[in-house]
Amino acid sequence: MTALLTANDLHKSYASTPALAGADFSIDAGEVVAVMGPSGSGKSTLLHCLAGLVPPDQGTVRYQGRDLAALSDAERSALRRADFGFVFQFGRLVPELSCVENVALPLRLTGTKRKEAEARATEWLARLEVDDVRHHRPGQVSGGQGQRVAVARALVNNPRVVFADEPTGALDSLNGERVMQLLVEAAQESAAAIVLVTHESRVAAFSDREVVVRDGKARDMAGAA
């Protein structure tokens, strides 16, 4: 079977700081892969390269066999909107929009009419157990609620890959575990893959497989756990 998303020999430096130095990675449809490793080892940079947010200096990222570098900026943006979902450590919700408008945003950006987009967003908020705050702004909800809203936003477009960078990093352990459960359940139901950057082993425990990034290189821990 061809992997859904692969990276070969990725190199990326920021000025004289090497962030990636020959990293390989691969994830199949529906698979949950935890990317672990020490602070500054290159985990977020790997995630950004895989998602086509940052171009590597060298090496290739292929999604469904297509080289991301061969796409135009507009094509890469369209691909991200249609096929990828994102969850970050601090939600990164749009503060001026209500929670339901935030979740509806990816649908609105791909052309869905407001009424339908907000109806689907409300369903996702209910799934993530936060439909009671749908008319609140992000500044009026707790960290745990905001992160559930962010997960709903990442999944509303039925993405093929969810990129989650420390999605529970700002939450207490109980909230963190619930957010992970909801994220993994929802993604698995739609056979979405999850690239999960975390330094917490209890978060990585939700994955099928662990990859450790060290000094800009990724090592598959399959069978070693």
Ligand X SMILES: Nc1ncnc2c1ncn2[C@@H]1O[C@H](COP(=O)(O)OP(=O)(O)OP(=O)(O)O)[C@@H](O)[C@H]1O
- The interface mask with ligand X, positions 55-94, x = CB under 6 A, is ----------------------------------------
For ligand X, the closer of residues 43 and 62 by Cβ is: 43
For ligand X, the closer of residues 137 and 219 by Cβ is: 219
Strand segments, DSSP code E, in 37-156 are 58-63, 66-67, 84-87
Query: How many angstroms separate the CA atoms of 84 and 61, rounded?
Result: 14
For ligand X, the closer of residues 5 and 186 by Cβ is: 5
Strand bridging mode 66-67 / 84-87: unpaired
Give the shortest CB-38-to-ligand X separation in angstroms: 7
For ligand X, the closer of residues 17 and 72 by Cβ is: 17
Q: Which residues pair with 212 in a beta bridge?
A: 36, 219
Task: Report which DSSP code applies to 132.
Answer: G
Give the shortest CB-53-to-ligand X separation in angstroms: 11
14 is a contact residue toward ligand X (CB under 6 A):
yes
The interface with ligand X within residues 17-56 (CB under 6 A) comprises: 17, 19, 37, 39-45
The interface with ligand X within residues 185-204 (CB under 6 A) comprises: 199
Helix axes 114-127, 143-155, angle to 10 degrees: 130
Answer yes or no: are the C-beta atoms of 114 and 104 closer than 8 Å.
yes
Q: What angle (nearest 5°) sits at the alpha carbon of residue 172, between those of residues 167 and 175?
A: 70
Residues that bind ligand X (CB under 6 A): 14, 17, 19, 37, 39-45, 199
